[in-house]
A = this chain, B = another copy of it.
Amino acid sequence: MSTQAESVTQSDVDRLPLDIERIHELAEALLPVSEQIDADLPVEDRKLNAKLVELIAILHELHPADVAGLLESLPQKERALVWHLAAPEEDGEVLLEVSDAVRETLIETMDQQELLAAVDDLDADELAELAADLPHEVVYEALKTRDEEERAQVAAAMSFEDGQVGAIMDFELVSIRADVACEVVLRYLRRFESLPDHTDKIFVVDDNDVLKGVLPVRKLLVADPEERVENVMATDVVRFRPEDDVEEAALAFERYDLVTAPVVDANKKLIGRITIDEMVDVIREESEADMLNMAGLQEEEDLFAPIWDSVKNRWMWLAINLCTAFIASRVIGAFEGSIAKIVALAALMPIVAGIGGNSGNQTITMIVRAMAMGQLSGSQARRLLKKEVGVALVNGLIWGSAMGLISWLLYDSPGIGLVMVAAMTLNLLLAATVGVLIPVAMEKAGRDPALGSSVLITAVTDSGGFLIFLGLATIFLL
């Protein structure tokens, strides 16, 4: 079973937002009778019953992907109600589409029977995707009804880690031999009940299933029926190994405008394929993960997660932030004597720290992005550093002078103004240097350069900024 793009029941995409608002209203109105609904008892109140009928009608019209988006947008009680009312034959699809956090909340509400029914129609790769979140008995029972080949496929897919091509490949392959005529291929295809989603090419293999090439459907359709496949097929194929990184695969899909691509094992034997819809999810998740990581959230969060779950998702970065803030605080503490003498320092020091953090974040974001796109290798680090230091110097002199002038006028002290200029320039230089070095070092260490980079750079520019500013002030103003 697969989502069929062509059978979307919405005749117009614009309708969707309206439906969601209406469903929210209906679900909220039905909350008081949710116990009856849960027990499949009739709702006596006439008006409420009309609303129930309307809600069910809307839900059964929606595409599984829309149901998934809807469930993610609903608070937990309304979500449980809507999930109970949604078309059960689409349960499996919906579970595949929702975010991990929401999937857990949905599975919790289902008994073993419902779960088995939900996963019954799924392909082997889809079952493997859900398996980690399902109770063991359900996976065990679900596998019992599958044949040998499918069980092997599920096991194969589950043996790869998240982030590996093997974990998201599917097994719906149409393959042919190279030595047949295109007409034979067309006749062969006609014997299928239906072709897999996204079939933009047919895989050409030899007797041992070794990949020889691909026959794009759009070439098959215009080819002379007498022509043999080997004369039409493309042999320079972008192929993947199941151990490959999915983000690399997604970049290749993006670069070469692929719709599907074969996955081969070490002996070049065709074992599966990956499709653009999975790659789009990878791209979306990758950039989201970068954004969430930079903001200090560990993972995608259910919008309406219980408070305690949210606290757990966020505590780590808050704790790290507190530690770095504490270090910055101790730096200031070391200069308490200076601040006691010139209280103005206390008011000016956050400006120096702030501009360093902002500028460093600009640098690091640009570099993290270039690295994600595979455009930056370590050998260019020196050159980039030179450029970023140049930018920091210009910015430091411009903005430092502006703020130096203001400080001078404000506190009627040219000394404070000059210290401001020097401290802002130096902290911007520090930010540029560390902004280049952190992601380069992270990548060399084989770690994700996005992870925590923003927190790290702010830590450096805060403590560094306070140290530079208060240090200079202590030396020159006291």
How many Å lie between the Cα of A283 and that of B250 in the bound state? 12
Cβ contact of A347, chosen from B199, B257, B283, B333, cutoff 8 A? B333
Interface presence of A105 (CB below 8 A) = no
- Of A201, A317, A375, most buried by chain B (CB within 10 Å of CB) is A375
How many Å lie between the Cα of A192 and that of B222 in the bound state? 6
A178 to chain B, nearest CB (A): 15
Interface presence of A287 (CB below 8 A) = yes
- Judge whether A222 and B193 touch: CB under 8 Å: yes
- Judge whether A361 and B5 touch: CB under 8 Å: no
- Judge whether B350 and A69 touch: CB under 8 Å: no
**What total of chain A residues lie within 8 Å of the partner, measured CB to CB?**
148
- Of the listed stretches A45-53, A145-153, A301-309, name the one at the interface; the rest are far from the partner chain: A301-309
How many Å lie between the Cα of A329 and that of B354 in the bound state? 11
A contact face: mostly helix, strand, loop, or mixed: helix
Interface presence of A100 (CB below 8 A) = no
Given A346-B336, A350-B332, is A297 in contact with B365 using a C-beta cutoff of 8 Å? Answer: yes
Task: Write out, one digit per residue, whether chain A residues 248-261 have a CB within 8 A of any chain B CB (1) or not (0).
Answer: 11001111111100
Given A21-B379, A222-B195, A290-B291, is A253 in contact with B280 using a C-beta cutoff of 8 Å? Answer: yes
- Judge whether B276 and A259 touch: CB under 8 Å: yes
Given A5-B256, A377-B17, A390-B307, is A351 in contact with B339 using a C-beta cutoff of 8 Å? Answer: no
28 sample A-B contacts, Cβ–Cβ < 8 Å, listed by A number:
A5-B238, A5-B256, A6-B201, A8-B236, A8-B256, A20-B377, A21-B377, A63-B256, A65-B255, A72-B375, A73-B370, A73-B376, A189-B222, A195-B221, A198-B259, A217-B218, A280-B280, A287-B288, A287-B291, A295-B365, A303-B375, A307-B387, A308-B394, A325-B350, A326-B351, A328-B354, A329-B350, A350-B466
